[in-house]
Amino acid sequence: MALYHLGERVNPYIARLEREGFEVVRNLVGRCLTEDELVGILPGVFASVAGIEPYTEHVFQAGRELQIVARYGVGYDKVDVAAATRHGVAVAMAFGTNHEAVADSTLTLMAAVVGNVVRHHERVRRGGWGMNMHPGLWRATVGIVGLGRVGKAVARRCRGFEMRILAYDVVPDVAFAREYGLNLVALDTLLQEADIVTLHAPHTSETENLINRDRLARMKRGAYLVNTARGGLVDEAALYEALTSGQLAGAALDVFRAEPPTGSPLLDLDSVVLSPHCAGTNATSEAAVLNRCIDSILAWARGEGPEAEYLLNPEVLRSERGGVSPSKV
């Protein structure tokens, strides 16, 4: 039996599991499952195509038949990898499958917030006319925080707008920066000089509230913030203050600390463009991500284990529980 987090929509990729004899249990609640809901649904489940549900110690204790969690995407901050390892559960990722989709969405959100697209749309829809003056993207200075696969894909797109590109990463790729004309700078320098700051760093204990009240104050007045990475990178209360005070002109957010962000004051600001954590999903990336997840699940069911580059905890390959084909699927 396999758990599929994306709901009732049938697609040909998940059908691969069914052709291999798996019974696929779909998430039908229309939102991310809670910890308690996961605990209730996991008994009897061999594999999970996981979204951003919380895979905790409690969840792994309850899911005694669970052998592999294949993450739909590249972030794993919601998975307690150490707990998974203790319980002999493989955690497989879909690295390299959706970064181009995230980069497309990042540029879309960037253009929307800088160009006042939502405000103009609402004005015309309500029978109004006229425009709000706004800056452009062409030759703007963009600051990319995190120069991994997504950050690099964003940088390549920004070159098409002849942007001045600043980038910060704890382990910068000097060769890439040289090839694409990026300026590698300190984070403070990036914040002070960028017209648009876009976040592409992972969410870890070190990056929790990376963009806090102090760093928002260091940004250029009237700048924009785009976040398609993780909500935990941004102090949302401080962001609200920066937007309402005029320190920032706008923000575009695909991710939030609580998802959905019910009750967040950010929802009431017309200077904020909102998206439901969907930046990494389009028709092309869905195929790549799901096929990668399913490849990992089927490999584990055959006792082979996923390819090492996709497995976060290869030590489970040597565990008594790991890599055993299910007697019932």
Task: Find tokens 């120069």 and name the residue.
Answer: 147
Q: Is residue 326 part of a domain?
A: no
Residue 230 annotated among the catalytic residues of the structure: yes
Residue 307's pLDDT band, with cuts at 50, 70 and 90, is confident
Determine which one of 119, 200, 203, 277 is catalytic: 277
**CATH classification at residue 130:** 3.40.50.720
Please report which helix (H) or strand (E) contains residue 175, including its range.
helix 174-180
Residue 277 annotated among the catalytic residues of the structure: yes
Kindly state whether residues 238 and 290 are assigned to the same domain. no
Kindly state whether residues 92 and 103 are assigned to the same domain. no
Kindly state whether residues 14 and 43 are assigned to the same domain. yes
Decide if 53 contacts 73 (C-beta within 8 A): no
Each residue's pLDDT tens digit, 169-203: 999 999 999 999 999 999 999 999 999 999 999 99
Determine which one of 71, 87, 119, 230 is catalytic: 230
Decide if 31 contacts 9 (C-beta within 8 A): no
Kindly state whether residues 151 and 228 are assigned to the same domain. yes
pLDDT at 48: 95
Q: Is residue 80 part of a domain?
A: yes
Q: Is residue 307 part of a domain?
A: yes
- Quote the number of domains for the chain: 2
Q: Is residue 191 part of a domain?
A: yes
Kindly state whether residues 144 and 226 are assigned to the same domain. yes
Whether the per-residue pLDDT at 323 is higher than 60: the answer is no
The sheet carrying 2-4 orders its strands as 24-26, 2-4, 47-50, 68-71, 90-92
Decide if 289 contacts 98 (C-beta within 8 A): yes
Task: Find tokens 């942007």 and name the residue.
Answer: 163
DSSP 203-217: --TTTTTSB-HHHHH
pLDDT at 305: 81
Kindly state whether residues 130 and 268 are assigned to the same domain. yes
Kindly state whether residues 58 and 87 are assigned to the same domain. yes
Q: Is residue 200 part of a domain?
A: yes
Kindly state whether residues 104 and 242 are assigned to the same domain. yes
- Rg, C-alpha atoms of the chain: 21
pLDDT at 319: 61
Kindly state whether residues 51 and 111 are assigned to the same domain. no
pLDDT at 31: 81
Q: Is residue 144 part of a domain?
A: yes
Q: What is the pLDDT of the chain when averaged over all its residues?
A: 92
C-alpha distances (whole Å) from 153 to each of 22, 70, 82, 104, 176 are 36, 24, 31, 9, 11
Determine which one of 57, 259, 307, 315 is catalytic: 259
Least confident of 158-172, 217-231, 278-292: 278-292
Q: Is residue 184 part of a domain?
A: yes
Kindly state whether residues 57 and 84 are assigned to the same domain. yes
Each residue's pLDDT tens digit, 192-233: 999 999 999 999 999 999 999 999 999 999 999 999 999 999
Whether the per-residue pLDDT at 328 is higher than 50: the answer is no
Kindly state whether residues 224 and 144 are assigned to the same domain. yes
Query: What residues make up the domain containing 195?
Result: 99-274
Kindly state whether residues 176 and 219 are assigned to the same domain. yes
Q: Is residue 327 part of a domain?
A: no
Whether the per-residue pLDDT at 256 is higher than 80: the answer is yes
- What's the full length of the chain, in residues? 329
